[in-house]
A = this chain, B = another copy of it.
Amino acid sequence: MHQKVVETEAAIQAAFIALLQTKAFEKISVSDITKLAHINRGTFYLHYVDKYALLDHYENHLIDQIQDYFTNDFEGTMTYQSVKENGVYTYPVVQKTVGFIHQEFALWQVLLGLNGDPRFELKLKRIMKQAISNGLDRVKGDISVTRCIPEDYAWELIISGMFTIIKTWLREDDPQNPEAIADIMMKTRFLSPYDLLGIKD
């Protein structure tokens, strides 16, 4: 691949991320991007058909990483791993997933942030649910989601709990390190809202 292409696409990505930190995706024009990236507007269209293709490109880039890991390297992911210094075990899946996000933090930040794409979050949630379903089937045989509340409500609560942790992480001014987040995810598995509030009823 031509080196110039790499440069240009990097400039576009940097400009795109910078703009998404300040305004909503739909309010960003191709002109905005190319001005900030110091390239000609026409050049943009040599790389992407429109700004939606740009968004898709980044989203798929991130999704593919996770998707690949979930479908290929899934053996042993739900078993406990080495003891951490604070005495908490961590699943490899959790560690890996948090690691993926940490690797491209700025991109995850804007795509899951206030100016991001709600549909991206939805896609990810579906993937997560599938992965957890599969993981549970493999490790323990007889899991049945509680009948105490409707099953789809239970699933939504579980998945969006994990997303809440990730999104809180991404919104922090001075973000925690990945290990701390993995730790939080492992701990919250056992915490109900009342536990979180510190209420002992």
Interface residues of A (CB under 8 A from B): 24-27, 114, 116, 118-119, 122, 136, 140, 143-146, 148-150, 152-158, 160-161, 164-165, 167-168, 176, 184, 187-199, 201
Contacts and interface: CB of A to CB of B under 8 A. Distances in A.
B197 A195 contact: no
A122 B114 contact: yes
B161 A161 contact: yes
Which 10 A-B pairs rank lowest in CB-CB distance, beginning with the nearest?
Answer: A26-B26, A154-B196, A160-B164, A192-B192, A156-B168, A149-B184, A144-B198, A146-B198, A158-B193, A190-B192
A136 B143 CA distance: 35
A58 to B, nearest CB: 18
Given A122-B114, A190-B194, A197-B158, A184 B150 contact: yes
Residue of A27, A119, A149, A184 with highest tally of chain B CB at under 10 A: A149
Contact of A160 (B24, B119, B160, B197): B160
Residue of A143, A165, A196 with highest tally of chain B CB at under 10 A: A196
A148 B145 CA distance: 26
A181 to B, nearest CB: 9
A3 B168 CA distance: 47
A144 to B, nearest CB: 5
B190 A146 contact: no
Nearest to A201: B190
A121 to B, nearest CB: 10
Contact of A191 (B116, B176, B192, B197): B192
A190 B164 CA distance: 18
